[in-house]
Amino acid sequence: MTPTTSLQHFAVNKEGQLVSVGEVERGLACECYCLACQSPSLARQGHIRTWHFAHAQETDCEYAAETALHKAAKECISRGMKLWVPAISVTEIAYSGDRDR
């Protein structure tokens, strides 16, 4: 299985507030930190890739995007904002006896 990378769209600013990459200044000027490991992050706001946060220095933090998304969802819920998720459809099939008949 090929690992996939998720982009980190949220970080925490110097005031401790959760911020999205579109709410801050570009690069290290954002003065943001990773929600998972608290290391300095920079805001990548280029013209080719989707805007996202990245660790300012190489790190082995592998859950940054997942942690950021989790905390952002909790923040939305605590503020009484709506959170839309895709519908999930579950079908259960039960077999009894011999399945070859």
- The string of pLDDT tens digits covering residues 40-58 is 999 999 999 899 999 999 8
Q: Which of 64, 58, 46, 57 is nearest to 6 (CA)?
A: 64
% of the chain residues with pLDDT over 70: 83
Average pLDDT over residues 25-39: 93
Token pair listed for 28: 């290290």
